Amino acid sequence: MKILVAIKRVVDYNVRVQVKPDGSGVATDGVKMSINPFDEIAIEEALRIKEQGKAEEVVVVTIGSNDSQQQLRTAMAMGADRAILVETDTAVQPLQAAQVLLKVIEQEQPGLVITGKQAIDDDNNQTPQMLATLWNRPQATFASKVEFVEGNKISVTREVDAGLETIQVELPAVVSTDLRLNEPRFVKLPDIMKAKRKPLEVKAIADLVPAPKGQAIEVLKHEAPQPRQKGVMVETVDELLEILKDKGLVS
Amino acid sequence: MSKVLILAEHNGTKINQSTAKVLTAAKQLKADTIDVVLFGNDSGLATQVAALAGVNAVKYVQCNDNHDQLAASIAPTIADLGKDYSHIFGPSTTFGKDVMPRVAALLEVNQLSDVMEIIDANTFKRPIYAGNAIITVKTDTPQIVATVRTASFAADKSTDGSASVTESTLSTAAEHTTFVELSTGNSDRPDLQTASKVISGGRGVGSEENFQIVYDLADKIGAATGASRAAVDAGYVPNDMQVGQTGKIIAPDLYMCFGISGAIQHLTGIKDAGTIVAINKDGDAPIFEVADVGLVGDLFKIIPEMMEKL
Ligand SMILES: Cc1cc2nc3c(=O)[nH]c(=O)nc-3n(C[C@H](O)[C@H](O)[C@H](O)COP(=O)(O)OP(=O)(O)OC[C@H]3O[C@@H](n4cnc5c(N)ncnc54)[C@H](O)[C@@H]3O)c2cc1C
Ligand SMILES: Nc1ncnc2c1ncn2[C@@H]1O[C@H](COP(=O)(O)O)[C@@H](O)[C@H]1O
């Protein structure tokens, strides 16, 4: 079985992004870029499945600018076997990303597709669900545990508001990862060297999906969130309780 | 001329408050019609929704059991019904987030995720970058599919509605997906997502046993309990207690946290809280930048003192 992992290059999660003064976007010049943290977990899960002997090949794919090659190389340094860059200079929205990923699936025929649950730039949380829909295959979103069961099925534990839900889905399927699925490995220097020799194929987005369906949502402006009013520091529990009592929050 | 279809959420016996919050958002569209679609196997649920003022019709789709509410099973039915509506809204809970993008894909539109403000029928605000930026977005597709950020809208508390109820049977159940089980961190405390007071603890609490004092304080003031991701990851508490970007986004009147440093991903979950109180032994912890009331000190001294004085 082949596993396809979809990753996205995003502003590193440790960076506190700033809205540009003219509201045209967020400042990304010179900002550290990384693999979306959920996607790193997706890569790790695919590698673990391969290491258990349940998959032969792990292929990573991203849709993005040429700079995304860095993130694909990092994924191969972690252990992915090869990479595909679907190159585009403009940002793609989830419905388009899903159509492109579907094309890659048609070419690669994976038995399992693993994605992150959301990209932490746009926080959309849509692409995997849309991909599963267009592919007409099951989805298991927000996964915190993936196990192979009899036949051609996986059992997936999902982090839901009420607790943990377990479902079984037939393969092929799309799994989207939550944070507690695993802890991604660190890449070692020799692996970075080795990854340079692994195959990285570049395709033009227009060759894969020349006329994507659906209309993009237009972004009119960016603004910084409303700051909260400055608070007060107190020295004692008595002072704290007095404030809370005044506000009617405790009695 | 907006016509809105809302996807209701429930736990089998009770309609989740997220439904009433989405209704509040839908009303701000100044819609001509607001209908609700509900999947379940208890017609009492439809009665609960029909009592919400402003709902015109409830489309109750009978499922064999609640677990037929799987995203792949219900999305085709919602999309099919949705063709007659200009807006299809679901809650931005794990249930809504799982199913609504499938509906959007079937209708060939991008979804608006986590709508926090409605400007007009085509223009909305939503957070990106964990709430570090807010974007104003516009879309004029024949159907607009959105999830509504529940912390941004108050629940519609009306009970004098008299919507009509029509019943049908689910015909789109997925064959390739089966429900196995749901394990909940059941507690008698108020529900974290709707509680007016929340007490939460972070890595600073130190262990599962130590969390008992957090629970005791919560019980004393009738609060729900929450936690940081670090506390969940360390196994001190179950995952359903996590507050933040990837946990629950909440807006209680009072949020009091102990031993939480205030990472941006955590703050995303609490910035709509009325009053934020932070107790941390490190005076430089970033949580104090957003707290309305801060107290520097050891939680193991402060909680017992609060218990004594409350
Ligand atoms: C993609 C992504 C998503 C994330 N999503 C979330 C999320 O949804 N929610 C979330 O919470 N985190 C999330 N995180 C993790 C987040 O970045 C932080 O790691 C986490 O919030 C830290 O938890 P903490 O504050 O409990 O722990 P720490 O940062 O370790 O802070 C512990 C604090 O306790 C204080 N302390 C210690 N002992 C005491 C004492 N005796 N008395 C008083 N204070 C004490 C310390 O001074 C310290 O400030 C996410 C991270 C990533 C990468
Ligand atoms: N441009 C992209 N290229 C490859 N994968 C993507 C892209 N955008 C989103 N994804 C995948 O879809 C997941 C969810 O993204 P989103 O729906 O944008 O929040 C991400 O974690 C990725 O795994």
- B99/B153 same-domain check: yes
CA distance B266 to B250: 11
Task: Please state the domain count of chain B.
Answer: 2
- B133/B260 same-domain check: no
The whole-number pLDDT of residue A227 equals: 84
Confidence category of residue B65, pLDDT binned at 50, 70, 90? confident
Q: A106-122: buried (b, 16+ CB within 10 Å) or exposed (e) per residue? A: eeeebbbbbbbbbbbbb
pLDDT tens digits, one per residue of A36-76: 999 999 999 999 999 999 999 999 999 999 999 999 999 99
Could you give the strand order of the β-sheet that contains A57-64, starting from the edge strand earlier in sequence? Answer: A200-204, A82-87, A57-64, A2-6, A112-116, A173-177, A139-149, A153-160, A163-170, B177-184
Average pLDDT, chain B: 95
Does residue B187 register a pLDDT over 80? no
The whole-number pLDDT of residue A226 equals: 87
Angle between helices A94-108 and B94-106 (to 10 degrees): 80
Q: Which ligand is nearest to the CA of A177?
A: 2
Tell me, yes or no, whether B48 lies in a domain: yes
- B163/B60 same-domain check: yes
Q: What is the CATH number of the domain that holds B142?
A: 3.40.50.620
Q: Phi, psi at residue B160, to the nearest 5°?
A: -105, 20
Confidence category of residue B66, pLDDT binned at 50, 70, 90? low
Which chain A positions have a beta carbon within 8 Å of B198's beta carbon? Answer: none
The whole-number pLDDT of residue A229 equals: 84
Q: Where are the domains of chain A?
A: 2-221
Tell me, yes or no, whether B183 lies in a domain: no
Name the residue with higher pLDDT: B223 or B245.
Answer: B223
- B13/B144 same-domain check: yes
**Nearest CA-CA distance, residue A153 and chain B, Å:** 9
Structural domain of residue B299, as residue ranges?
197-309
Interface test with A, best of B143, B177, B301 (most A CBs within 10 A): B177
CA of B296 to the centre of ligand 1 (A): 16
Per cent of chain B over pLDDT 70 is: 99
Q: Phi, psi at residue A220, to the nearest 5°?
A: -85, -45
Tell me, yes or no, whether B110 lies in a domain: yes
Tell me, yes or no, whether B187 lies in a domain: no
CA of B231 to the centre of ligand 1 (A): 7
- B65/B214 same-domain check: no
Does residue B273 register a pLDDT over 70? yes
The residues near B89 (Cβ < 8 Å, ≥ 6 apart) are: B4, B5, B6, B7, B22, B25, B26, B115, B146, B147, B148
Per cent of chain A over pLDDT 90 is: 95
Which chain A positions have a beta carbon within 8 Å of B182's beta carbon? Answer: 160, 162-166
- B204/B163 same-domain check: no
Q: Which of B123, B153, B169 is the last residue of a domain?
A: B169
**CATH class of the structural domain A2-221:** alpha beta
Tell me, yes or no, whether B188 lies in a domain: no
The whole-number pLDDT of residue B9 equals: 97
- For residue B203, the tally of other CB atoms under 10 A from its CB is 17
Distance from the first to the final alpha carbon of chain A: 62
Cross-chain CB nearest to B128 (options A94, A122, A237): A122
Tell me, yes or no, whether B174 lies in a domain: no
Interface membership of B276 toward A (CB under 8 Å)? yes
Q: What is the CATH number of the domain that holds B284?
A: 3.40.50.1220
- B101/B208 same-domain check: no
pLDDT tens digits, one per residue of B20-42: 999 999 999 999 999 999 999 99
Which of A96, A72, A81, A57 shows the shortest CA–CA distance to A8?
A: A72
Q: Do A126 and B104 touch (CB under 8 A)?
A: yes
Instruction: Write the DSSP string, B112-159.
Output: EEEE-EEEETTEEEEEEGGGTEEEEEE---SSEEEEE-GGGS------
Interface membership of A69 toward B (CB under 8 Å)? no
Which chain B positions have a beta carbon within 8 Å of A102's beta carbon? Answer: none
Q: Do B180 and A155 touch (CB under 8 A)?
A: yes
CA distance B132 to A14: 12
Interface test with B, best of A17, A139, A142, A182 (most B CBs within 10 A): A139
The whole-number pLDDT of residue B246 equals: 87
Q: Which of residues 24-53 of A touch B (CB under 8 A)?
A: 26
pLDDT tens digits, one per residue of B235-244: 999 999 999 9
The residues near B66 (Cβ < 8 Å, ≥ 6 apart) are: B12, B40, B41
Mark residue B246 as left, alpha or beta (left: phi above 0; alpha: psi -120 to 50; beta: remaining): alpha
Rounded average pLDDT over A119-130: 97
Confidence category of residue A207, pLDDT binned at 50, 70, 90? very high
Helices (DSSP H) in A55-211: which residue ranges?
69-78, 94-108, 127-135, 189-195, 205-208
Tell me, yes or no, whether B184 lies in a domain: no
Q: Tell how strand A82-87 and strand A57-64 pair up.
A: parallel
Element (H, E) at A39: helix A37-51
ipTM value: 0.95
Does residue B245 register a pLDDT over 80? yes
- B207/B164 same-domain check: no
- For residue A183, the tally of other CB atoms under 10 A from its CB is 11
- B99/B245 same-domain check: no
Does residue A91 register a pLDDT over 90? yes
Q: Do A225 and B293 touch (CB under 8 A)?
A: no
Q: A208-228: buried (b, 16+ CB within 10 Å) or exposed (e) per residue? A: bbeebebeebebeebeeeeee
Rounded average pLDDT over A147-164: 93
Atom of ligand 2 nearest to the CA of A61: 4
A175, B127, B308 from B281: Cα distances, Å: 40, 31, 20
Does residue A150 register a pLDDT over 90? no
Does residue B275 register a pLDDT over 80? yes
Does residue A24 register a pLDDT over 90? yes
Tell me, yes or no, whether B85 lies in a domain: yes
Name the residue with higher pLDDT: A119 or B183.
Answer: A119
Q: Tell how strand B144-148 and strand B111-115 pair up.
A: parallel
Average pLDDT, chain A: 96
- B14/B162 same-domain check: yes
